[in-house]
Amino acid sequence: MTTDAALPPRLQLRGITKRYPAVLANDHIDLTVGVGEIHALLGENGAGKSTLMKIVYGVTRPDEGIIVWEGKAVSIASPAEARRLGIGMVFQHFSLFETLTVAENIALAMDEKIKPALLAPRIREVSEKYGLPVDPNRLTHSMSVGERQRVEIVRCLLQSPRLLIMDEPTSVLTPQSVLKLFETLRRLASEGVSILYISHKLDEIRALCDTATVLRGGRLSGTAVPRDESNASLARLMVGSDLTACQLQPREPGEIELELTNLSLTTRDPFGTRLQDLNLRVRGGEIVGIAGVSGNGQKELLAALSGETLVGEINRSHAGMIRLCGQPAGLLNPAQRRGLGLGFVPEERLGRGAVPAMTLAENALLTGASGGSSTGMLRYGMVQQKAARAFAKATIEQFKVKCGGESSIASSLSGGNLQKFIVGRETRLKPKVMVVAQPTWGVDVGAALLIRQALIDLRDQGVALLVISEELDELFMICDRIAVINQGRLSPTMPSAELTIEQIGVLMSATSMAGHADETVTGEPVDVAA
């Protein structure tokens, strides 16, 4: 941290309060950020962190309180005013137009009028300098979540902010990219840029941040120097109690419930990844994890598994490349696959995991209706609203979702609470096979443990689970076996107990992988460094 004692703090918040009809989001919050300080803001999902940062960035107006910027009281009425002051923000939920290129999206967000073609060289320069490579001419809709996160970060860095607010910036970045980002943030801090950093990754907070402010239930819970704390003590400040670690006990898996056999799939997307000869078997009562750098075929694999892409559409003989619960599934649409017992949690919460403008009860109905009479939400072809509300309410209670009830609009929930609801909804539908992408992206430490334990509980009930995640620690915590996807190819799976994060990292960054078969079926040893 580089500070000058003669300079006033970069930002001071005094008594900031924000009320909504169903919740008191911020209750008289005080916070001070010095010049060149990297300041963490911690708290559970729904603790009020994002609301507070939206107030600083001018998205939301406070009901009470004062904002002091570099020693002067200010009223920030809009993001444009915040940017003029020198405040930039990287949001947890992206604000990108799907049909525009990277350069066009960034040009729209810039206060200065500049043509995308002229902006493209600056985008390349900044993205390469900060180790966040993006192609300025690429269409946004073709990009994975991790790649879109890079665009948001580069967009903000192009504006040369004096205060940079980062809301979960590393949620979908690789470990290597995280280290590069940290180098960038430390360099910015040394040049006098102040950084407000929101993250649920406590290891990151302790490694990067100078100080931390902790919120709980919309109120100030305490402050800390992260490097002097442990993960456990920081978590205790956040949730008010000690957390219980996930328990993954050894068990003998059952029959094969999800099987990929030489799955190859071309893509119409010129920036997409072609899947090449993927072989994988997931048995009932086990969790298989797939690691990989974002953009290596995860999006295409998920679309093939969910039924959004029909593998057998062009060649019906390929329908058996995907087998679900013993049945060829390559020609089955998403609803038909759900009828066989598939549960699915996509990486994008809003838009794919939940319809933003619908209530939680209505969102429960969207996937719960496929269960027919077993869920009670559909009877004789008629929607049973009472049953849908009861199902959503039970999900909210079981998964500790913080919201105004089953009638809450999905977009009104914090990212972590919506994720808990989506995972809870799919879990309570009692699937035979569960495919989950980025299960704890942007989720606080307590909620992450709850979600991970829910997946382990499904596994212990005999469900076959496939988890695609860029959180390597998470995969090692909950998976029986792990594979790596790289350039559209899948490595052999290996027991997680026989792997290290370093070995997985080698496979993630390798230019090619020699083997593609699921060799754990034969029990043959695999040289993961090959």
User: In this predicted model, what pLDDT tens digit does every residue of 300-348 receive, in sequence order?
Assistant: 999 999 999 888 665 666 778 999 999 999 999 999 999 999 999 998 8
Task: List b or e across 331-352, with b for residues whose CB sees 16 or more CB atoms inside 10 angstroms.
Answer: bbebeebbebbbbbbbbbbbeb
Q: Is residue 414 part of a domain?
A: no
Q: Is residue 50 part of a domain?
A: yes
> What pTM does this model have?
0.74
With beta carbons less than 8 A apart as the criterion, state whether 375 and 386 touch: no
Neighbour-count burial of 80, counting CB atoms closer than 10 A to its CB (0-12 exposed, 13-18 middle, 19+ buried) = exposed
> Are 211 and 100 part of one and the same domain?
yes
Residue 502 CA to its chain's centroid (Å): 22
With beta carbons less than 8 A apart as the criterion, state whether 207 and 230 touch: no
Domain that holds residue 477: 256-341+431-521
Give the C-alpha separation, 65 to 266, whole Å. Answer: 56
> Are 214 and 282 part of one and the same domain?
no
> Are 221 and 114 part of one and the same domain?
yes
With beta carbons less than 8 A apart as the criterion, state whether 93 and 172 touch: no
Q: What is the pLDDT along the chain (530 residues), one digit of tens a residue?
A: 655 567 899 999 999 999 988 789 999 999 999 999 999 999 988 888 989 999 999 999 999 999 999 999 999 999 999 999 999 998 776 778 888 999 999 999 888 888 999 999 999 998 888 777 889 999 988 887 678 878 988 988 898 899 999 988 876 666 667 787 888 899 889 989 999 999 888 888 999 999 999 999 899 999 999 999 998 898 888 887 777 778 889 899 999 999 999 999 888 777 788 999 999 999 999 999 999 887 789 999 999 999 998 886 656 667 789 999 999 999 999 999 999 999 999 988 888 899 999 999 999 998 887 654 467 787 877 888 899 999 999 999 999 998 889 999 999 888 888 999 999 999 999 999 999 999 988 788 888 888 999 999 999 999 999 999 988 889 999 999 999 999 999 999 999 999 988 888 788 876 545 444 443 333 333 333 33
User: In this predicted model, what pLDDT tens digit does every residue of 229-249 receive, in sequence order?
Assistant: 998 898 888 887 777 778 889
- Among the candidates 186, 211, 239, a domain finishes at 239
> Are 261 and 205 part of one and the same domain?
no
Q: Is residue 527 part of a domain?
A: no
Number of domains in the chain: 2
Amino acid letter at 331?
Answer: L
Q: Is residue 62 part of a domain?
A: yes
At residue 174, the pLDDT reads 64
> Are 176 and 303 part of one and the same domain?
no
User: Residue 132: which CATH number?
Assistant: 3.40.50.300
With beta carbons less than 8 A apart as the criterion, state whether 6 and 30 touch: no
> Are 49 and 143 part of one and the same domain?
yes
At residue 337, the pLDDT reads 94
Q: Is residue 392 part of a domain?
A: no
- Among the candidates 211, 239, 267, a domain finishes at 239
- Among the candidates 239, 270, 300, a domain finishes at 239
> Are 89 and 168 part of one and the same domain?
yes
Q: Is residue 86 part of a domain?
A: yes
Q: Is residue 130 part of a domain?
A: yes
Give the C-alpha separation, 333 to 304, whole Å. Answer: 10
> Are 153 and 224 part of one and the same domain?
yes
> Are 223 and 292 part of one and the same domain?
no
Q: Is residue 459 part of a domain?
A: yes
Give the C-alpha separation, 216 to 25, whole Å. Answer: 10
> Are 37 and 167 part of one and the same domain?
yes
> Are 199 and 330 part of one and the same domain?
no
User: In this predicted model, what pLDDT tens digit does every residue of 508-523 receive, in sequence order?
Assistant: 876 545 444 443 333 3
> Are 57 and 172 part of one and the same domain?
yes
